[in-house]
Structure formats: C-alpha cells, structure tokens
Amino acid sequence: MPTPWKSVLTSVPLWALLAAHCGETWGFYTLLIQAPTYLSNILHFDLNENGLLSALPNLMLSTVSIFASILADHLRKKGIRISMIRKTLNTIGFIGPAICLAIVAFVGCKPVVIVALLCLALGLNGFAFSGFIATHVDMSPDFAGTLYGFTNFFANCNGFIVPAFVGWIIHDGVIV
C-alpha cells in the first residue's frame, strides 16, 4: 500500500510526535555525548573509572525501558486507555529526568550523588520509550515504520547539532 504522504505531512499529531521525539533526543544526545567529559573534567574521575560510570546511566535507560514496556502492557490489560498510558509514561520519561538534572545543579561537587542522579535521570527517561516511541504504532499501525523513520530522521540530526551547540555555549570551560 502506498504511503499517504499528504496525510502524513499535514497531520498535527505527527508534528507533535516529531517535537517530542526531537526533544527527547536532544536531552539524550546531550547526556550521551557530554557525560563522559563531565565525569572526567568536572568530577575528576580517571578514564578507567569513567568508562564504566559513563555506561551506568545508559544501562539504567535500557533496563527501565524494558520494565516500562511491561508496565504499559499490564496497564492495557487492566483496561486503561492507551492514550492515558502513553501520556503518563511520556510525562514520567520527560519530567523525571528534568527534575534530576535540575537537582544536579544544586548538589555541588558530590560525585556519587551526581552519578546516581544521572543514572536516575536516564532510567526515568526509559519510560518515554513506552510513551512517544510506541505512539507511532498507535497512530498508524500500517505505516508505523514510515512514521518512525520520518520522526527519527529529524530527531537524530540532534546527534551533530548538540555538540555544536554545547561548543558554542561553552568555550574553553567558560560560558560565553
């Protein structure tokens, strides 16, 4: 069946989904790319420790996303509306990490607390995978792959925009 591009490109819910996808990848890439540098240069972990510590938040993300999907399926079986499940899990996956990262700014230089908050932030972000990511299938099961490819293409442009943006903000360790 041919892709209904006119319907796709004029769908307001799809553009909202694209915004959510871009927002999530912005935060994800910021942490993925900048966390090792932060752990090494700011918290002064040596490179041997830094590798494992840099991986811990991503391990939390992977683990929690699995449990969040099990929770989403359980809630569906209980009869809760799918839109409520997606919105709730997405809210946890976006607001939870924002709160954790805001707390990091006020903790001071307490490396163990900061690493725990980074792990919690990315762990909570795992809920978003059962939120906005699964919404592609809910919107259009027959074209979910196409919709995901569309939003994922633009969202992953953040992979090269984020480092440039961070470099623009921080120059030689000084906020410009």
DSSP result, 83-108: HHHHHHHHHHHHHHHHHHHHHHHHH-
In whole angstroms, what is the distance from residue 69 CA to residue 119 CA? 19
Structure tokens at 14: 């799809």
Residue type, 16: A
Residue 79 gets the label, from left (phi > 0), alpha (psi -120 to 50) or beta, of left
Task: Scan for tokens 């979910």, then name that residue.
Answer: 144
Task: Scan for tokens 């925009």, then name that residue.
Answer: 161
In whole angstroms, what is the distance from residue 143 CA to residue 141 CA? 6
Note the pLDDT tens digit of each residue in 1-35: 899 999 999 999 999 999 999 999 999 999 888 88
pLDDT at 47: 67
Collapse the DSSP code of 123 into the 3-class scheme (helix H, G, I; strand E, B; otherwise coil) and give the result.
helix
What is the length of the chain? 176
pLDDT at 170: 76
pLDDT above 60 for 133: yes
Helix H or strand E encompassing 176:
none
pLDDT at 172: 62
Note the pLDDT tens digit of each residue in 41-97: 888 888 676 777 778 999 999 999 999 999 999 999 999 999 999 999 999 999 999
Residue type, 77: K
Predicted TM-score (pTM) of the model is 0.87
DSSP state of 171: E
